[in-house]
Amino acid sequence: MTRGVDSERWTEGEPDLAEVNDLVVGTVQSPRTRRSWLVALTLAGFGVLALALAVFGVFWWYVGIWGIDTPVYWGIAITNFVWWVGIAHAGTLISAILLLAEQPWRRSINRFAEAMTLFAIACAGMFPLLHLGRPEFFYWLLPYPNTYGYWPQFLSPLVWDFFAVATYGTVSLVFWYIGLVPDLATMRDRSTGLRARVYGLFALGWRGSARHWERHQIAYLLLAGLATTLVVSVHTIVSFDFAVAQLPGWHVTVFPPYFVAGAIFSGFAMVLTLLIPVRAWLGLRALVTARHLDYCARLMLTAGLVVAYGYAAELFFAWYSGDPHERDLLASHLHGRSAPLFWLIVGLNVVLPQSLWWRAARRSTVWLFVLSIAINLGMWLERWLIVISSLEHGFLPTTRGAYWPTFWDWLTLAGTLGFFTFFMLLFLRFVPAIAMSELRELVAERRRRGA
């Protein structure tokens, strides 16, 4: 590392161990944000109620209440699913790949990003299950012995998807939790009464023994290695839901890498959308610095370039294939029925992110926040284009259709946004949002180098 890079630090000022602890524990214990937190939680609570209503509607009247009809069998529920799973990927990338790459800057944001991952997977997982038609039989996706003599169809991408998302959710949860255990021990030791008992219960008796740490670090590293494979595999398998089908606009070999890049792209956009207000709200600017946002923006730009390549490859191969149906869809995207949506997506996901080549844009919190919301929207619309515009178009003009989401579609989307916010707020109130034990290492390493 050159001196020029080193001169700019990952923390503002020179906090020692006690200051790091105070700052992070303060975000959980301080009453400063209690009132605004309660207001926000109440608002998000309405979102959870909306989700409960939307889920009830699907269980009671089934998917007919959504706008889906021949030929558009998959509505925005699938758009939402792909969008939410994609968002999750940034958290895993930050916690796993950047750990293996020994990037010190991940330590201030990994806990937060992993929590985002968990709740995003929970939101994502609901949609395909609700979209099953008979959501109460979702457990038929599991291979369990039953009196029908039936097994899941293991050759189906939809079953693969179930395995991929279930594994992703479980591994993300244990990865997040074992990283959290030492910090829960800190919370236990700094709380009194009932709080100390509850934290103590979840800290599982962690004492920070050298042997415990050694096994903990090895387990964490191994899990990072395993989770790294999930970063690149989960959205690959999601893309098989489309790419394995014959439909024009879906049957493309570039889909797996293009979906993974899109996932990381939208995930970093969501990290920025959440991190920028939260670090101001909780007073964590000293630990989550402008430099952290800068690095997130760089990774977002990198992923965005791969997404742009994916768009280009999709267009090129639609033309190069010579397939009349593919070429027809290409014409529709470039100057036909889906052109307004397509060019809006290009503007949001390809043109706007190019601003990140400039340092001034990466260091402008306001611009990053606006841009991250634009990219979130752009990536949601991109999945609309993939899922819905392809189905609307189909093979023959005679079988074309039109789709527009109903009230229930929108209610489900709004409900998951509320659900996500609700659990992020609970996380920020009760769990240290920054990995203290990892930051202590960072502080100690810097002292040892005599910086």
Partner 1 sequence: MSGLRGLLAEFAGADDVLAAARAARRAGYVALEVFSPYPVEGVAEALAFRSRLAWVTFIAGLLGGATIFLFQGWVHAIDWHLDIGGRRSFAAPAFIVPTFEITILSAALATVFAMFVKNGLPRLHHPLFAIPAFERASQDRFFLFIGADDPRFAESAARAFLESLAPLEVHDVPR
Residues that bind partner 1 (CB under 8 A): 16-18, 21, 143, 149-151, 154-155, 159-160, 163-164, 166-167, 170-171, 174-175, 178, 182, 185-186, 188-190, 200-201, 204-219, 222-223, 226-227, 229-230, 233, 237, 240, 437-438, 440-441, 444, 448
Nearest-approach distance from CB 168 to partner 1, in angstroms: 8
Nearest-approach distance from CB 148 to partner 1, in angstroms: 10
Using CA of residue 280, residue 286, residue 288, residue 293, what is the dihedral sign? Answer: positive
Nearest-approach distance from CB 172 to partner 1, in angstroms: 10
Long-range contacts of residues 299-303, Cβ cutoff 8 Å, at least 24 apart? 299/93, 299/264, 299/268, 300/265, 300/268, 300/269, 300/272, 300/353, 300/356, 300/372, 300/375, 301/353, 301/354, 301/356, 301/357, 303/261, 303/262, 303/264, 303/265, 303/268
Q: Which residue has the tokens 């790459």?
A: 101
Nearest-approach distance from CB 145 to partner 1, in angstroms: 10
Minimum CB distance to partner 1 smaller for 206 or for 422: 206
Q: Which residue has the tokens 């034990």?
A: 437
Nearest-approach distance from CB 259 to partner 1, in angstroms: 15
Minimum CB distance to partner 1 smaller for 54 or for 88: 88
Nearest-approach distance from CB 243 to partner 1, in angstroms: 13
Closest CA to 293 of 305, 308, 278, 282: 278
Residue 27 CA to residue 19 CA, distance in Å, equals 13
Give the count of alpha carbons within 13 A of 382, CB side only.
30
Residue 80 CA to residue 379 CA, distance in Å, equals 10
Nearest-approach distance from CB 140 to partner 1, in angstroms: 14
Those residues whose C-beta lies under 8 Å from the C-beta of residue 53, and which sit 6 or more positions away, are 411, 415
Nearest-approach distance from CB 443 to partner 1, in angstroms: 9
**CA of 258: how far to CAs of 97, 191, 253, 262, 263, in Å?**
18, 47, 9, 6, 9
Residue 152 CA to residue 294 CA, distance in Å, equals 46
Minimum CB distance to partner 1 smaller for 190 or for 400: 190
Minimum CB distance to partner 1 smaller for 39 or for 174: 174
Minimum CB distance to partner 1 smaller for 32 or for 215: 215
Minimum CB distance to partner 1 smaller for 31 or for 145: 145
Minimum CB distance to partner 1 smaller for 299 or for 434: 434
Minimum CB distance to partner 1 smaller for 240 or for 403: 240
